[in-house]
Amino acid sequence: MRLNVPLLGEAELEAVGSVLATGFLTQGPRAQEFESLVAQLVGTGHAYATSSATTGIHLALHACGVEPGDEVIIPDYSFPATANAVIQQGAVPVFVDIDPATFNMDPTKLEAAITERTAAIMPVHAFGLPADMNEINAVAAAHGLPVIEDAACALAATYRGVAAGALGTAGVFSFHPRKIITTGEGGMITTSDAGVAERIAVLRTHGAVRGDTYMSFVDAGYNYRLSDINAAIGIAQMERLDHILERRRSLAAAYDDRLAEVDGLTTPIVPDDRTHTFQSYVLMLDDAFDRDDVIHTLKARDIETTLGTYSMHLQPYFRDRFAIADEALPASTRAHRQALTVPLYPQMTESDVDSVVDALRITLAESRSVRAG
């Protein structure tokens, strides 16, 4: 059983075909339509489609005023693209630990991380669960800092009734095939800040402003646009969004129910003030288990699983550059070693959930038996 299978069909094929028939393949009317749909969903004044979430984060950092030599506070536990974008902007990522219950940035760690060089705070909505944005925004406001949401996994998630992507200065979504909806590759920046929006619009397209006859290049921008081919897939996917979310949440509830009877693990929590997209269903194995051995054993049973995500300070580049001790980031370090992502995608059935849980139960029982022996 695969970890994830994107939900695609005839609608996406027809959407791509309609774009090919026009001959208008780069960023154009389909991208604008896709942007309007996402802005309406999130509730922001502006949305800008980008070639990926990584380029979107880079663009948002630039538009929010982050400059070379600045510092940006991020959670240590995230896919490294979060930190890579900071480095691409010439800034320095400052890693803070996570709340082990939610896998999200721990707001109580922020004050100690702020220096005179801090230029932004960038929480990640881990696996589709929004971070504690009221607490994060309060710290940011006290220091006059913009907040950029890495909302890659959180399209249509909410925090206290407000959509992810509308909880900070800007938000960035991903449309990679493992995310809630897909465009193949792609991203989207959302914001209601007019100044940030204006800078994004210019920087995304080579730093150009279009006049009546031709473009005028007012900045050294990027080519971070999303093509109409990709955007057409995204428009078709938006029609599926409600169904995708309903299935993911239903399957997550089925996992919760069945895993409650399995010893040796902790299932994900969803605080009452938030909604979760369950881009991934990530559980924590007790320290007695070797998570990587569990992954390998489940693979032999035809169940694809993987780690949760990465404790970035453990990765070779960041380890060699920053030399951060594991003891400084204990929750992130433990999550890196013990979190397990199990299969979850809309086409799964509850029978599939039963198969995964049965295989996991047997695997953990065998591991206990080996240790006891």
Catalytic residues: 179
For residue 118, which of 162, 64, 78 has the smallest C-alpha distance? Answer: 64
Cβ distance 291 to 339 under 8 Å? Answer: yes
For residue 153, which of 8, 341, 327 has the smallest C-alpha distance? Answer: 341
Cβ distance 305 to 1 under 8 Å? Answer: no
Cβ distance 285 to 267 under 8 Å? Answer: no
Cβ distance 89 to 99 under 8 Å? Answer: no
What are the φ and ψ backbone dihedral angles of 91, each rounded to 5 degrees? -95, 180
Q: What is the dihedral of CA 193, 199, 205, 207, to 10 degrees?
A: 170
For residue 82, which of 112, 105, 63, 99 has the smallest C-alpha distance? Answer: 105
Residue tagged 């997550």 (tokens): 252
For 365, the token pair is: 């029982």
For 223, the token pair is: 């080519």
Residues in contact with 263: Cβ distance below 8 Å, sequence separation at least 6, in sequence order:
364
Residue tagged 């559980």 (tokens): 283
Sign of CA dihedral 140, 122, 99, 331: negative
Residue 18: count of CB within 10 angstroms of its CB: 12
